[in-house]
Structure 1
Amino acid sequence: MMLYFCGCRLDLDRAELHRPDAGVVKLRPKTFEILRLLVQNAGRVLRKQELMEAVWPDVHVGDDNLFQCIREIRAALGDDTRQTVKLVSGRGYLFTAEVTVAADAPALRPAAPAPAEPTLPEVAPTTGGTPEPAADRPSGRAQTPPAKTRLRRPAAVAAGVAVGAVVALAAATQVIPQVIRPDLVVRRAPPTLAVTAIVDASGDPRGAGVAADVTARLTDGFAHIDTIRVVAPRVAESASRAEPAALSRASSDYELRGELQRAGRSWVLRARLIRPATGEIQAVATVSVDAHMPDPQLQQSRLAAGVGHPLARRLNESLEAGSQSAAASAGRTKVVIEQATAAINQTSRERFGMAQTMLEGALAAEPDNVDLAVALAALQMRGIQMVWYTPDEAAAAEAQAGAALERALAAKPNAIAVLETQCRFLSATNRFVESLVSCARAASLDPWNGLALYLIGLGQLHLGRFEDALATFRQADQFDTPAVSRWTWRLGAGWAQLMLGRGDDAVPWIEQSIAITPGTGRSHMLLAAALQQAGRTDEARAAMQEGLRLRPGTTAKTVAPPTRNASPLFVEGATRLITLMVAAGLPEQ
């Protein structure tokens, strides 16, 4: 079955969304299922709870899971105005586009009348319709245009046509079909993760509440990952503390255990990812936060993210094991990548060059190592975004990174590092709508992934969605992971505030970013624009002088961001920023 709307085609058999301008858009299974439900119920408000119960049956998940799917759908459809997938306040979501339904082949008719069934008088016949216009016909193999009908009761139509075809085939042939549809093949169930209740060992009266909240946040976060199944903590009235672990050990592939302690002024959370069958510890994560932080929600969010982020990545690596890199070289690969990352933590052109040389040398020794190729591609994308390449170098780096990512995605389609780099690649090459989809996929495999959130915010900025971008950067700051990317979302938040005309609000965000990574130069120029907008002209000039010291030769022409595929709102805002920088002392030529 095919569903057509807004120039798009939803292929229910292959679980694919086809767009006329972008080919097949890859959606993760849960997101596709939400889109299918919305489209098949076009014109009817679907309650949030109704959607969540349909897509996550018998699994406890938070509202964020649904919100993330809706964001991915809007990005995939280019629904920047939120008018196609519309939030009906207090009720749910409404798919507003007109939908038509078609089959790939003429409907099969039974040899004898089928048993009487309730009729659907408002649905037009599914044969003899008007062929779709050539301009709207999806690309692909040549075929007779399928019959179509306007979809008024979509769920009933889709189910009725599918069941009718099966009944007709059985009546006509009286044999079992020999062709098995791929979506009906029994697949191996995803591995199970049991999240056991965090043990309060703090001796603090507030400890039990903090531990319970962090447990709930970890459970919700891991439940968002569609490559695993999550077993929530099980607490029985007469159960001992060890019973939840015993219950999960019998049926779970992985188990998460943790203890909350107090150390001076800090909460300290230690968590382990364990293979229950063998007792083998797969990963250990520790995080500490200020116990006197005034915002308890932020405190608990950072505790959960501090262990959730590294454990989610380690779990992903475990599930994606069997890459082309030999096990013996995996340790060396990790060390090289970590060293290269450390070299650019305090970002500067010189450190970037050191990191690139390091990765290129390692890849020359292991040319088939997917992980090294992806790490180099990620670095090259940073070089393009920071304008550290000449135009010719940037074109060569883009081509090399694109080829490496194509191979990596074929080898490791669900690897977080690969998806993050593809996200950065699409962002750096100004394919912002596609980048939102890819970045959202990376974030869905690690819900505490600040780097993916930063890149989502960057895409939203370029698409003119400044308030959305600010909210995304703030969410990344709430998690504050990974530390190596902390400066990026704080700079992004300052940039978003500037685009909204809030120079005073932008200044502290940009200053925090510079305090972490002071060597970029461009950050100082953005700070100069914020100070100029806030009327602090002397400070603005000082910030611009520092930026020019770090990036000599920069002019208004060379500092301007690329505008290809960017929203007119972004172009207008970027022009205002350049004007502010010139007023603060940036040379025009």
Structure 2
Amino acid sequence: MLRTLKAQGGCHNWPASSPGSASMDEPASRAPAAASRDGRIALGRHVLDLRAEVLLDAESGAPVALRPQVWAVLRHLARNAGHLVTKEDLLDTAWPGMVVSESSVAQAVFEARVALGDADHRVVRTVPRRGYLLVAGPGPLAVASPAAAATGSDDPPFALSVAVLPFDDPFGEPAGRQLARGLAQELIAALARNVGLRVVSHHSSFQFAGGATPLAQIGERLRCRYLVDGTVRRDCDTLQISMELIDSHSGEIVWSQRYSAGSADALAQRDSMVELIAGTVLSRVIHTRDRQSLARPPRSMDAYTLTLRSIALRREASVQSFREARGLLEQALAIDPDYGPAWSALGFLNALDIALAMTGEWDLQRIGEAAAQAERAISLGFEEAIAQVALSFVRRVERRFEESLRAGELAVRAGPNDVNAWHILALAQYCVGRAAEALCSAERAIALNPIPSGWTLANWAGPLWAVRRHEDAIRVASEALVKLPTLWTCIIPRMYALAESGRVAEARADAGRLLARPQRSTTATLADTVADEAVELRARIISAARAAGIPD
């Protein structure tokens, strides 16, 4: 149960205590030594307010949405900050009188870590075989990853690689150079949180300060194709950042951007700015890789490049592109039957084909095959975010919505700056009726991809409708259809929004387009795209679909 603060962004939610539960409703007055006089505890980039019973984003002040059990677990850990809390104690606190397994605690702790951005478990620490310990303290989390230490090793199959060069002050001032190098190191740490991206350590990339070494040589020595270079300048009351993403093979500048922040707000905005830059860099690297893979002569391809080309074709969302993508993946697996990325891409493609009825060659009778393909990728040790993205979508088509949500959360954990991970999490949250959280995830994807694709917009439209932002849903769905006319599922949230806005004639026009498809929609088939437990959302879907003229 969530109490929702109505706001334009749709992301301002805080946990409500479970009625009738003494443990979950225990008084907030008992504050630990780590709490300030007003009952607040600093947890990295967040603040836990024990008196107001809310977790806040320290930068924006916005409440963070948590399930009641997750809130109960986090609150109990906070009240015992610095001390071991056993799993049994957490079970008694968050699930009083209920029979649940320890995996429920693990899931709640996982969700708490996701909410806190605690990827390295620095705030909520695991004490093996015993329980958990919360470490409270001021200041932002310093996020790092073992991936950041990778330097000269060969890229693993399917991995992207990037090196951040030492940023500089354009006027060469020592203080400005220190600021620039510090921001470059923070960007490295943010990028390194993504499992599917090999990030060269600054100990290696910063050796190329001064710009005397040719780009191709830098890429060759670091075994890294993409380079990020930039300048940082404090100009009176403004911090100016200019960046370029460079293909070291061709010397092409594939992306450039300028960012600015008021000097007074620079420190407060620094973390969010670094996260935005990291996500944008990752998105542009993926976009460039896809474009290059489509231009590659087919006869020279191996399993890796065949898989890349298939993913780029899948995003075109047409009958021909789906068929060609499937053929390429079958070729890739003929070359290497144990190539996890190809199995993952094939499972995702086939599940999409079923959901979209794109080619007519795959239907619900074959969803088990798609599931086996996605599962095969993970069993082969493919642990990148896209593997969980594929599994989440397959589970959604199977109507195993809680498993879809769990895979979506794992995708975000593996790739916190991966647009596709936030896409799939938004879809999974929407399907279980967690509309406000779905909107937050969809808007996170938008923030990471400033020039959104049709797919990105499509995943935004549904949550916008679900939180009753009808005009925005209509606009976004319409933009998605302009960018990707074959993605007919965008019609559905637009039809709902038009119907609920009283624009029945337009809603009926959209319904006519749906009913003209070979697989005709009914109110039941549309309602079944979300979980049975999402009662309110299902009722709205049926009501809006009927108003638009969709038959029962």
Q: Same fold (TM over 0.5)?
A: yes
Question: Which of 549-558 and 576-585 deviates more?
Answer: 549-558
Aligned-partner Cα distance in 2 for 1:392–1:386: 10
Provide closer, same or farther for how the CA distance between residues 556 and 44 of structure 1 changes in structure 2, counting only shifts above 3 A. farther
Question: Which of 414-423 and 191-200 deviates more?
Answer: 191-200
Residue in 2 that maps onto 1:181: none
Residue in 2 that maps onto 1:84: 72
Q: CA deviation at 1:451?
A: 0.9
Residue in 1 that maps onto 2:353: 383
Question: Which of 410-419 and 371-380 deviates more?
Answer: 410-419
The reply to whether residue 308 of structure 1 matches residue 282 of structure 2 is yes
Residue in 2 that maps onto 1:191: 150
Residue in 2 that maps onto 1:412: 381
Q: CA deviation at 1:379?
A: 0.4
Q: CA deviation at 1:419?
A: 3.3
Residue in 2 that maps onto 1:332: 302
Query: 1:313–1:446: 8 Å Cα contact kept in structure 2?
Result: no
Query: 1:450–1:481: 8 Å Cα contact kept in structure 2?
Result: no
Residue 470 of structure 1: which of 430, 439, 452 is its match? 439
Residue correspondence of structure 1 range 226-375 to structure 2 within 5 A: 241=210, 257-260=227-230, 269-271=243-245, 286-288=254-256, 304-309=278-283, 331-349=301-319, 351-360=321-330, 362-364=332-334, 366-375=336-345
Query: 1:309–1:446: 8 Å Cα contact kept in structure 2?
Result: no
Aligned-partner Cα distance in 2 for 1:189–1:292: 26
Query: 2:355–2:397: 8 Å Cα contact kept in structure 1?
Result: yes
Provide closer, same or farther for how the CA distance between residues 83 and 329 of structure 1 changes in structure 2, counting only shifts above 3 A. farther
Other structure's SS at 1:270 match: strand
Q: CA deviation at 1:456?
A: 0.8
Residue 447 of structure 1: which of 416, 430, 433 is its match? 416
Q: CA deviation at 1:395?
A: 3.9
The reply to whether residue 523 of structure 1 matches residue 523 of structure 2 is no
Residue 429 of structure 1: which of 398, 403, 422 is its match? 398
Q: RMSD value over aligned CA atoms?
A: 6.0
Query: 1:285–1:307: 8 Å Cα contact kept in structure 2?
Result: no
Other structure's SS at 1:84 match: helix
Residue in 2 that maps onto 1:459: 428
Aligned-partner Cα distance in 2 for 1:346–1:86: 43
Other structure's SS at 1:439 match: helix
Q: CA deviation at 1:450?
A: 1.0
Provide closer, same or farther for how the CA distance between residues 290 and 545 of structure 1 changes in structure 2, counting only shifts above 3 A. farther
Query: 1:420–1:452: 8 Å Cα contact kept in structure 2?
Result: yes
Counterpart amino acid of residue 386 in structure 1: L
Q: Deviations over 1:393-448 (max 9, x none)?
A: 4243x332333334322333433443332333333334444444433443344332
Q: CA deviation at 1:96?
A: 13
Aligned-partner Cα distance in 2 for 1:198–1:395: 54
Q: Deviations over 1:302-339 (max 9, x none)?
A: 65433234659999xxxxxxxxxxxx999433443344
Q: Deviations over 1:25-53 (max 9, x none)?
A: xxxxxxxxxxxxxxxxx988788766699
Other structure's SS at 1:198 match: coil
Other structure's SS at 1:100 match: helix
Query: 1:449–1:482: 8 Å Cα contact kept in structure 2?
Result: no
Aligned-partner Cα distance in 2 for 1:420–1:51: 28
Aligned-partner Cα distance in 2 for 1:98–1:431: 31
Aligned-partner Cα distance in 2 for 1:505–1:93: 43
Gaps of 5+ in 1: 1-41, 54-62, 103-132, 140-154, 163-186, 262-266, 275-280, 316-327
Aligned-partner Cα distance in 1 for 2:384–2:478: 34
Aligned-partner Cα distance in 2 for 1:161–1:307: 40
Counterpart amino acid of residue 72 in structure 2: T
Residue in 2 that maps onto 1:100: 88
Residue 571 of structure 1: which of 517, 535, 542 is its match? 535
Q: CA deviation at 1:458?
A: 1.4
Kindly name which structure, 1 or 2, has the bigger radius of gyration based on alpha carbons.
Answer: 1
Counterpart amino acid of residue 100 in structure 1: E
Q: CA deviation at 1:517?
A: 1.4
Q: CA deviation at 1:472?
A: 0.8
Q: CA deviation at 1:87?
A: 6.4
Aligned-partner Cα distance in 2 for 1:223–1:524: 37
Other structure's SS at 2:71 match: coil
Count of aligned pairs between the two proteins: 419
Q: CA deviation at 1:479?
A: 0.9
Query: 1:460–1:466: 8 Å Cα contact kept in structure 2?
Result: yes
Query: 2:350–2:370: 8 Å Cα contact kept in structure 1?
Result: yes
Counterpart amino acid of residue 197 in structure 1: P
Counterpart amino acid of residue 245 in structure 2: A
Q: CA deviation at 1:455?
A: 0.8
Q: Deviations over 1:497-544 (max 9, x none)?
A: 211222123112212221221123332232122122223333323333
Aligned-partner Cα distance in 2 for 1:49–1:557: 47
The reply to whether residue 559 of structure 1 matches residue 547 of structure 2 is no
